[in-house]
């Protein structure tokens, strides 16, 4: 990546190639513009394109250049806060809806991988959360109890069973979450990109978004100015040549049909590109 063998290490050496992309030149008009070629942006582009939207994704460097191509590849369910805490903070209904969404997240990832035949070394054997000492084990006991009440396939393993699985007796026990698994993270990002392109999405790399504005007070519109990022350079702080390539993104009735919310979009001078371009609610 970026002609630098050290950029993404093993992931770069073992991932299939990314789909062929280029920088944006000229002006285009789309239904939805997405900033960033990580998991969130690529998945949004894929789902919108499959729903019939005209989509453009704009990535400053290359597909999976950031965290999507540098993480350890764990596909985990839920959050590390205790499940009951979300209900206390968000309220029973919203807390349980969020837990259901997060608990089912690995299944969504694995279903996408299977449906689009993404080659990313997927493993669905679950993951172990290991307990350091008796205090850590007590915390895992609470976590297992709270997830089990919600029907999650989790199991508390004792020290011996944990040692048998990981080859170390350093832990007092572990939580085995069968919902989880692992992937090759950069390969997954590139697979999402390829699937999005096959579905009709337009992906532009080396196309850093430098500004955004609301063109119309009636129809929220984004005009983005991008600059070309030369090989070996990063988009941040790079005095590269400005291309003045523009993207107009219009939110129309079709967006509502695809389950995307316009909540929080400002139509005044304080326009926030993040609120317009990122889907806030799935219907």
Per-residue pLDDT tens over the stretch 33-74: 888 999 999 999 999 999 999 999 999 999 999 999 999 999
Contact between 203 and 63 under an 8 Å Cβ cutoff? The reply is yes
E strands in the chain = 27-30, 32-35, 55-58, 74-75, 127-131, 154-158, 173-177, 181-182, 202-204, 207-211, 221-223, 225-228, 242-250
d(CA 224, CA 40): 19
Contact between 74 and 127 under an 8 Å Cβ cutoff? The reply is yes
Domain boundaries, the chain: 9-65+192-277, 74-182
Contact between 273 and 212 under an 8 Å Cβ cutoff? The reply is yes
More confident residue, 176 or 78: 176
Q: Does the reported pTM lie above 0.85?
A: no
Per-residue pLDDT tens over the stretch 70-95: 999 999 998 888 999 988 888 878 98
pLDDT score at 231: 46
d(CA 63, CA 83): 33
Look over the chain and give the mean of its residue pLDDT values, rounded to a whole number. 80
Kindly tell me the burial class for residue 216, based on how many C-beta atoms sit within 10 Å of its own C-beta (0-12, 13-18, 19 or more).
Answer: exposed
What is the mean pLDDT of the segment spanning 162-172? Answer: 96
Query: Domain 9-65+192-277: which CATH class?
Result: alpha beta
Element containing residue 122 per DSSP (H, E): none
d(CA 238, CA 235): 5
């Amino acid at each position: 990546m970026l002609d630098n063998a050290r950029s993404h290490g093993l992931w770069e050496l073992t991932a299939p190639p990314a789909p062929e992309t280029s920088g944006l030149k000229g002006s285009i008009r789309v239904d939805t513009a997405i900033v960033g070629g990580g998991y969130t942006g690529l998945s949004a582009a894929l789902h919108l394109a499959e729903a019939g939207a005209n989509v453009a994704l704009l990535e400053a460097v290359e597909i999976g250049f950031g965290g999507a191509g540098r993480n350890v590849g764990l596909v985990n369910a839920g959050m590390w806060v205790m499940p009951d805490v979300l209900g206390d903070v968000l309220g029973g209904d919203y807390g349980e809806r969020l837990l259901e969404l997060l608990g089912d997240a690995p299944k969504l990832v694995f279903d996408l991988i299977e449906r689009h035949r993404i080659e990313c070394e997927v493993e669905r054997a679950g993951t172990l959360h290991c307990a350091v000492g008796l205090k850590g084990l007590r915390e895992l006991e609470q976590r297992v109890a709270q997830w089990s009440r919600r029907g999650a396939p989790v199991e508390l393993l004792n020290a011996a069973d944990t040692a048998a699985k990981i080859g170390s007796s350093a832990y007092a026990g572990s939580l085995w979450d069968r919902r989880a698994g692992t992937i090759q993270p950069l390969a997954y990002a590139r697979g999402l990109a390829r699937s999005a392109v096959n579905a009709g999405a337009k992906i532009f790399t080396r196309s850093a978004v430098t500004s955004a504005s609301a063109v119309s007070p009636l129809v929220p519109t984004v005009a983005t100015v991008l600059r070309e990022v030369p090989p070996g350079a990063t988009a941040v702080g790079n005095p590269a040549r400005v291309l003045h390539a523009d993207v107009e993104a219009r939110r129309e009735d079709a967006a509502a049909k695809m389950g995307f919310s316009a909540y929080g979009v400002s139509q005044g001078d304080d326009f926030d590109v993040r609120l317009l371009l990122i889907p806030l609610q799935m219907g």
